[in-house]
Amino acid sequence: MRKFKKLVLTGACGALGSVLREPLAGMAEALLSTDIADAPDTLHENETFTQADLGKMDQIEPLLEGADMVVHFGAIPDEAPFDELLGPNFFGSYHIWEAAHRHGVRRVVYASSVHAVGMHPSADGIDLTAPHRPDTFYGLSKCFSEDLARLYWEKRGLEAVCIRIFSCQPEPANMRALGTWLSYPDLVRLVQRSLDTPTVGFVPVYGVSNNDRSPVNNHQAAFLGYKPQDNAEDYYDKVIATARPADPQDPSQMRLGGPFAIVPLGESGVAMIKKMSEAAD
Amino acid sequence: MRKFKKLVLTGACGALGSVLREPLAGMAEALLSTDIADAPDTLHENETFTQADLGKMDQIEPLLEGADMVVHFGAIPDEAPFDELLGPNFFGSYHIWEAAHRHGVRRVVYASSVHAVGMHPSADGIDLTAPHRPDTFYGLSKCFSEDLARLYWEKRGLEAVCIRIFSCQPEPANMRALGTWLSYPDLVRLVQRSLDTPTVGFVPVYGVSNNDRSPVNNHQAAFLGYKPQDNAEDYYDKVIATARPADPQDPSQMRLGGPFAIVPLGESGVAMIKKMSEAAD
Amino acid sequence: MRKFKKLVLTGACGALGSVLREPLAGMAEALLSTDIADAPDTLHENETFTQADLGKMDQIEPLLEGADMVVHFGAIPDEAPFDELLGPNFFGSYHIWEAAHRHGVRRVVYASSVHAVGMHPSADGIDLTAPHRPDTFYGLSKCFSEDLARLYWEKRGLEAVCIRIFSCQPEPANMRALGTWLSYPDLVRLVQRSLDTPTVGFVPVYGVSNNDRSPVNNHQAAFLGYKPQDNAEDYYDKVIATARPADPQDPSQMRLGGPFAIVPLGESGVAMIKKMSEAAD
Amino acid sequence: MRKFKKLVLTGACGALGSVLREPLAGMAEALLSTDIADAPDTLHENETFTQADLGKMDQIEPLLEGADMVVHFGAIPDEAPFDELLGPNFFGSYHIWEAAHRHGVRRVVYASSVHAVGMHPSADGIDLTAPHRPDTFYGLSKCFSEDLARLYWEKRGLEAVCIRIFSCQPEPANMRALGTWLSYPDLVRLVQRSLDTPTVGFVPVYGVSNNDRSPVNNHQAAFLGYKPQDNAEDYYDKVIATARPADPQDPSQMRLGGPFAIVPLGESGVAMIKKMSEAAD
Amino acid sequence: MRKFKKLVLTGACGALGSVLREPLAGMAEALLSTDIADAPDTLHENETFTQADLGKMDQIEPLLEGADMVVHFGAIPDEAPFDELLGPNFFGSYHIWEAAHRHGVRRVVYASSVHAVGMHPSADGIDLTAPHRPDTFYGLSKCFSEDLARLYWEKRGLEAVCIRIFSCQPEPANMRALGTWLSYPDLVRLVQRSLDTPTVGFVPVYGVSNNDRSPVNNHQAAFLGYKPQDNAEDYYDKVIATARPADPQDPSQMRLGGPFAIVPLGESGVAMIKKMSEAAD
Amino acid sequence: MRKFKKLVLTGACGALGSVLREPLAGMAEALLSTDIADAPDTLHENETFTQADLGKMDQIEPLLEGADMVVHFGAIPDEAPFDELLGPNFFGSYHIWEAAHRHGVRRVVYASSVHAVGMHPSADGIDLTAPHRPDTFYGLSKCFSEDLARLYWEKRGLEAVCIRIFSCQPEPANMRALGTWLSYPDLVRLVQRSLDTPTVGFVPVYGVSNNDRSPVNNHQAAFLGYKPQDNAEDYYDKVIATARPADPQDPSQMRLGGPFAIVPLGESGVAMIKKMSEAAD
């Protein structure tokens, strides 16, 4: 694998950032990890950590100096009031792309989300030409960042891979996840390919595992060479045991965004999603 | 696998119905099998059989009481005069969907057919958005049933999976079947997925095995998770031994419907298909 | 204009048939008009009338002898119980096409309907490649007839133009009709072109006037040369005066089929449509 | 024309807002005009004016109370540094939609822009399914607002028409404008239709006149009934007299966004556009 | 209209070249006309004529020196043996584009033909994305030239408009021409727009008049601003009087290429087309 | 496998022809190999060799007498001046198809090339409906031959498979080849399927191995049953060791045609490609 001189990982203390630190450390001479949270207990040998707020340009810009590429996973990872998302999710993306541009960073690999297209029916089998249909303010922040990424590519030549992460968890947690699960090892594979593909321009790609029931089609991004290895179907028996009743009139069961397709926007949505995910799906 | 309280199987004594009885019995507490023919010699422990004529609403309606889902495979399985198809194929479908609606049945899994799209050239590589192009009155009855299924879903919320069965036989019998074969185990897999997918709305799906030469594309129905395992190519040597001469001007070799694409409609078609299939393909 | 030797018009006493009798009489040496109703009070010089039931092959077949083309407008023109539609709408179409085939008639010009695609959202701007999405049993009978027409063309070389008639009335009666109106003169133009175009194969075409707000796109049928002249917008002031409140959650205002998109199937639907059309809009 | 009780117009003192005040005043019992600038010298009889900053929710929200619809034309109408666009263009949209939602306003008619799709080549003849390809931060703010509009429609039932305004000026000013010109009367026509169409859901529409050389296709929004009447070609002689040399390698001549397709993002872009438009195009 | 310094017209003595000489002379300070035939009897004041063989590079190259644009209409205008087409149609195109490149000519306006896509069914309503489907060696030479044109644009920045001329005659001569007619004035309009549009890159466009029955769709080339004014329908009565019997199984009546769709390739095709066009069509 | 009586292989001494001689000898009673070069040192038992110039009809025509199918791989396999390509690549194809037609040969399997579509961006993930976009005169000769092949199929019933060969080499030689590699065994598989598929009409197919990063999509040619087995990814480590710096502004890294997408046309292109391929890619 190609060795980078310096990679930057934002959101390094988050659920997915934590998964990525080790493989990214293995791909670069130096990995700079950052998060708004405190540093992790232990760092890899070639890893440094800087605490920083994505909403503050003066904290973000210095981090990208000398970086080859940025893996931008920092953000509020859930629905939230628009005002709360502004800093980390909207400004955060702007700060990352603008800083990357100023420092001549070559590429941003971005944690976009299924929620940028969450209102599409699962049964439409969409591919990567489907238009944005956000399901929440959170999804809207992903649409914004993808459009920003395309703008920086077309006007400034800054490359971007926008990984629309589906249900990235240790195991598929419910019936929907039989289609939408992204295993941690497949997440790592996808990030690696997003980094090591020599030229990418601007490209979105769905982050799903090799699930029997995967509802989306990545063929336009085939040149990335992402070949997922895991299959949620292996967890079928476990999942079915606690599945909630099927209801074809329920958008949370028929749309890509799942529960996000029905929760209210903003604050009350946050609460409802929490409640829904506490219940067996 | 999810256990249903009651499943109904029509056409239970037919070639494909006979294949489905055992796996369906395994998926439900009670399986009600029905056919216009006499009962099979032996029944599974949790299986009951009622002889009934699909063309008679009063015989069909009572059977669906309390059913979770119906697997509707009963019909004349071949070209026939329009008048003969009316009862079992046209009215039969109407009776099944109407009875299902009245009894609150959740879903119909329907044996549609390649002959609903049989006039499409094989080399077009159609997917599930291709329009109806029936090749016979038989194919027309499948188009009718699919449109009926969509109507009941959109107006009444009754779900349907319309399996467009290609060449479902123990072995691929001729060159065309190298592309169009559907093995019995793959038929069972597809019916199981059509039943156990939590929500489906209305969806057509091509019933073909994992053949090297499969001429159609199921990607819009990917969420069903149908992953065929058999490949007609394993029978290549056997098939080639008796293959008839290739003729690219012959629609029966260039269209999805095969011989159905050239036989006359109705009665004389019946005879010709019989003769063609008796000859080596 | 090309003069035909003999044309046949079914449904000659219906609202639209009555509009067509005079222009058709002008296009042929002999016009045979037929309907299940009694003969009109007066006939054109070269017009004869035979009362006949579309549901009876022995009454229909003799009428087509020697005909060049058939203009098939006979049918129950509204939602009805499936059983009631069977004779005139389903069998009726079969009888017409079968009789046309037997007598070597060249072409059927058929009164199909917007209700064959009535569940499509108006805002989708569909063209002629959109799939069938019937909104009623009535719409289903149109889907059936179109598929039958395609089958007879592809297997028997019998040509067909399937005119999907939208709101064909003297004046646009409500807001929806500002988009969907088909004036009588435009209906006549479209039927004439459907007859005088030298070769047509099988082709569907939307029957709408040149309305500012026409929601559909006929470009695939451009070769027919149908150029509507009337525009519902001329009636805007009159229509707006009695318009019912707009509601974007109401499928009857957002789907092509209008009220048909929401009424129950069959008998109760008949009643509701009557009531809705008695009310303003 | 339908009379509204109350309409709200933002950006009422801008170039286009000024054009809209009179026709909107004619469509409503009360027109509330607002802008960050001082009130216009004279108001229409049923017009009131409130100075307000789109970036301040507490100034915006009260204005929408009791409104039927909002015509949202307020924003910085040009490329600007991202930070400067934040208040009026990004937050401004959020405030309008959120306030509209809180007050039960039925619809927002929004001044989107060609610059939301400005990187598409003019020769692609795009229709309304083309994806966002912003050419500037300004264009990005339009992409954001359109996605926001779709979200509020899909999750909250608030309707929106997003008018992608091309070159809206008294006369076409350069060769590009021969294709992209939107006359003031056609702007008024399009806003009127966006208001008086009974139900719209979410729909984008290109704001161009009936120019011979119009490079885009509105057919998916046909149901709005927008029929432009003016044609930039009438100004051909005048325009050609001062046209700058043609260069097919120059994106500003080959992309929909024109000069915006080549200027740097942000501050330096502002200056360059000014300079380019001062020169003869 | 923009005045060119020098235009070159090939095929100046042909049927269409003769139509173009006057309007082109009006668009340029100098018009150089060329043909393999003898000079026309009279020349326009600013027109010069050089006899030259398109198949000879040394005769062609000097003509283009100093030219702004070339209007390349020279070629055998009919089916012919492949060998005979080689010089004027295949090499001729290569010589024109290569010479244009060497002299820095900005654009070639090329007389391509419907016969580059002549095997497409008329009823498909194709637009400009339809693939090449030549109907003759003649049509093949047009496909070759269009691909050559695209290559010179993409690799060398030499612009091209490829006008796919349909039935360009003083009057529509038969039923097919009711759809495919291109009047001389519309030809002139289209060539003018192909020249005066500031930037075109590479673009094909269908050369048909504003016929009611026009079977093709130019929307992707809308930016050229070609607005035909004539309508073959005005000749309906005259055409119908001598129309040959319609036969929907006859490709010459159902495919865009007309008679070319059925004649043998090469020499025997030449003869048959002559015979067919001598007979009343 | 089906045994042919006689197969003809052109370009038998070329890099790919040499790979094909043995498998083709195994598929036929007699293999006639031909090339403009001297005979290979040894021939297979049932193989004969005739030296011939593709540019000479009298040398080519006799070879095809009695042949079942022709595998046409002879041509200059690289960019060259247009004049040099004329004989072997342009006339050569014409001679092969014309001779095949005269002798009643059933099918031509043709070595087309990625360079017929080489200007398409790799990231577009094109399928077989993408239009021709040649990147060189060499690519243009492939476009010409494919259109010729389609013409002979549509007018004369001569079948053709046009294999668009990508990077056919013993091993993937550079980063681009990780996507575009076609292994020798996969080439053989594809040629075999092109021969043994009973009916093919006219069909193009991309010749690429089962590479993780394959940038194109063969689904429309699925009926051929080509299932590649090799994967360039197995050579990743070796390739990456000598990879040249990635540059997303470099068309040779972003377009399917690779270096061909940037070299000058004709002679100077030849030299540059040689130089580029001598350098580490």
What percent of chain D has pLDDT above 70?
97
> What's the confidence (pLDDT) of residue F281?
41
Interface residue ranges in chain C relative to chain B, Cβ cutoff 8 Å: 82, 90, 94, 98, 119, 129, 131-137, 139-140, 143-144, 147-148, 150-151, 154-156, 264-265
> What's the confidence (pLDDT) of residue A24?
98
Say if strands A159-165 and E159-165 run parallel, antiparallel, or are unpaired: unpaired
Tokens read off for E49:
């004529």
| Closest CA relative to residue B93, chosen from B119, B115, B75 | B75
| Residue A240: CB atoms within 10 Å | 16
Q: Which chain C residues are closer than 8 Å to B150 by Cβ?
A: 119, 132-134
Is a pLDDT exceeding 60 seen at residue A201? yes
Q: Span F201-223, mean pLDDT? A: 96
| Closest CA relative to residue E128, chosen from E77, E200, E203 | E203
DSSP annotation of F248 reads T
Is a pLDDT exceeding 80 seen at residue C268? no
Is a pLDDT exceeding 60 seen at residue F280? no
Each residue's pLDDT tens digit, E79-94:
999 999 999 999 999 9
Angle subtended at Cα C188 by Cα C185 and Cα C192, rounded to the nearest 5 degrees: 140
Is a pLDDT exceeding 90 seen at residue E164? yes
Q: Which of B233, B250, B254 has its CB closest to that of F225?
A: B233
Residues B43, B44, B48, B52: what is their CA dihedral angle, to the nearest 10 degrees?
A: -50
For B255, nearest residue in chain F (alpha carbons)? F199
CB contact under 8 A, D123 and E159: no
CB contact under 8 A, F148 and E133: no
For F204, nearest residue in chain B (alpha carbons)? B123
Q: Span E112-132, mean pLDDT? A: 96
Each residue's pLDDT tens digit, B123-164:
999 999 999 999 999 999 999 999 999 999 999 999 999 999
Q: Which of F215, F246, F250 has its CB closest to that of A223?
A: F215
Instruction: Round the average pLDDT of chain D to a whole number and report it.
Output: 94
> What's the confidence (pLDDT) of residue B278?
57
Q: Which of F90, F150, F265 has its CB closest to that of E133?
A: F150
DSSP string, E82-119: HHHHIIIIIIHHHHHHHHHHHTT--EEEEEEEGGGSTT
Q: How far is Cα E208 from Cα E224, in angstroms, rounded to an integer?
A: 14
> What's the confidence (pLDDT) of residue A281?
41
> What's the confidence (pLDDT) of residue B267?
76
Q: How far is Cα E71 from Cα E10, in angstroms, rounded to an integer?
A: 6
Q: Which of B198, B203, B226 has its CB closest to that of A246?
A: B198
Tokens read off for B248:
């690219």
For residue F133, the number of C-alpha atoms closer than 13 Å in the C-beta half-sphere is: 22
Residue B30, helix vs strand vs coil: strand
Each residue's pLDDT tens digit, E29-54:
999 999 999 999 999 999 999 999 99
For A243, nearest residue in chain B (alpha carbons)? B198
For A261, nearest residue in chain D (alpha carbons)? D155
Question: Which of A5, A152, A199, A224 is the mutation pick for testing F, counting most F CBs within 10 A?
Answer: A199
> What's the confidence (pLDDT) of residue C281?
42
Q: Which of F82, F134, F155 has its CB closest to that of E265?
A: F155
| Closest CA relative to residue A74, chosen from A141, A128, A28 | A141
The answer to whether E226 is a known catalytic residue is no
Give me the catalytic one of B110, B138, B152, B226: B138
Q: Are E148 and E101 in contact (CB under 8 A)?
A: no
Distances in whole angstroms, Cα of residue F169 to Cα of each of A268, F173, F180, F187: 60, 8, 10, 10
CB contact under 8 A, B201 and A248: yes
Is a pLDDT exceeding 90 seen at residue D280? no
Is a pLDDT exceeding 70 seen at residue A169? yes
| Interface predicted TM-score of the whole assembly (ipTM), two decimals | 0.95
| Closest CA relative to residue A101, chosen from A173, A179, A154 | A154
| Closest CA relative to residue E199, chosen from E225, E229, E218 | E225
Q: What is the nearest CA distance from E210 to chain C, expressed in angstroms?
A: 11
Q: Which chain B residues are closer than 8 Å to F201 by Cβ?
A: 121, 123, 248, 254
Neighbours of chain D (3+ CB pairs under 8 A): A, C, E
Is a pLDDT exceeding 60 seen at residue F276? yes
Please count the residue pairs, one from chain A and one from chain B, whose beta carbons lie less than 8 angstroms apart: 54
Q: Which of C136, C139, C148 has its CB closest to that of B140?
A: C148
> What's the confidence (pLDDT) of residue E280?
38
Q: What is the nearest CA distance from C131 to chain E, expressed in angstroms?
A: 16
Is a pLDDT exceeding 70 seen at residue D216? yes
| Per-residue buried b or exposed e for B166-193, using 16+ beta carbons within 10 Å of the residue's own CB | bbbbeebbbbbbbbbbbbbebbbbbbbb
CATH topology of domain A4-280: Rossmann fold (3.40.50)
| Closest CA relative to residue B70, chosen from B167, B160, B189 | B160
Q: In what order do the strands lie in the sheet with D202-207?
A: D47-51, D28-35, D4-10, D69-72, D107-113, D159-165, D202-207
Q: Span A253-263, mean pLDDT? A: 94
Helix (H) / strand (E) containing E111: strand E107-113
Q: Which chain A residues are closer than 8 Å to D100 by Cβ?
A: none
CB contact under 8 A, A125 and B227: no
Match 């058929």 to its residue by tokens.
C110
Q: Provide the pLDDT confidence category of residue A181 given band limits of 50, 70 and 90.
A: very high
Say if strands E167-168 and E47-51 run parallel, antiparallel, or are unpaired: unpaired
> What's the confidence (pLDDT) of residue D2?
66
Q: How far is Cα B245 from Cα B161, in angstroms, rounded to an integer?
A: 37
> What's the confidence (pLDDT) of residue C242?
86
> What's the confidence (pLDDT) of residue A2?
66
> What's the confidence (pLDDT) of residue C280?
39
CB contact under 8 A, F151 and E144: no
Q: Provide the pLDDT confidence category of residue B277 given band limits of 50, 70 and 90.
A: low
Q: Span C204-208, mean pLDDT? A: 98
Phi, psi of C171, rounded to the nearest 5 degrees:
-140, 155
Tokens read off for C166:
């939208």
List residues of A with catalytic annotation: 138
Q: Span F78-85, mean pLDDT? A: 95
Is a pLDDT exceeding 90 seen at residue C142? yes
Is a pLDDT exceeding 80 seen at residue E276? no
Tokens read off for B190:
């597809």
Say if strands E28-35 and F28-35 run parallel, antiparallel, or are unpaired: unpaired
Q: Which chain C residues are closer than 8 Å to B131 by Cβ?
A: 129, 131
**Residues forming a β-bridge with F82:** none
CB contact under 8 A, A246 and B1: no
Cβ neighbourhood burial of A199 (10 Å; 0-12, 13-18, 19+): buried
Neighbours of chain A (3+ CB pairs under 8 A): B, D, F
Q: Which chain E residues are closer than 8 Å to C152 by Cβ?
A: none
Helices (H) and strands (E) in chain E, counts: 10, 9
CB contact under 8 A, E147 and F155: no
Q: Provide the pLDDT confidence category of residue F135 given band limits of 50, 70 and 90.
A: very high
Question: Which of E115, E147, E265 is the mutation pick for testing F, counting most F CBs within 10 A?
Answer: E147
Give me the catalytic one of C94, C110, C138, C206: C138
For E226, nearest residue in chain D (alpha carbons)? D212
Tokens read off for E78:
């009919």
Cβ neighbourhood burial of D67 (10 Å; 0-12, 13-18, 19+): buried
Is a pLDDT exceeding 60 seen at residue D238? yes
Query: How would you classify residue D158: left for phi > 0, otherwise alpha for psi between -120 and 50, otherwise beta?
Result: beta
CB contact under 8 A, F140 and E148: yes
Each residue's pLDDT tens digit, C179-193:
999 999 999 999 999
DSSP percent split of chain E into helix, strand, coil, nearest 5: 45, 20, 40
Tokens read off for B141:
């009855």
Q: Are F136 and F190 in contact (CB under 8 A)?
A: no
Amino acid identity of E182?
A: L
> What's the confidence (pLDDT) of residue B1?
55
Q: Are C79 and C136 in contact (CB under 8 A)?
A: yes
Q: Span D58-84, mean pLDDT? A: 97
Cβ neighbourhood burial of D244 (10 Å; 0-12, 13-18, 19+): middle
Tokens read off for F209:
């191995």
The pTM of this model reads 0.95
Each residue's pLDDT tens digit, A5-22:
999 999 999 999 999 999
CB contact under 8 A, D253 and E199: yes
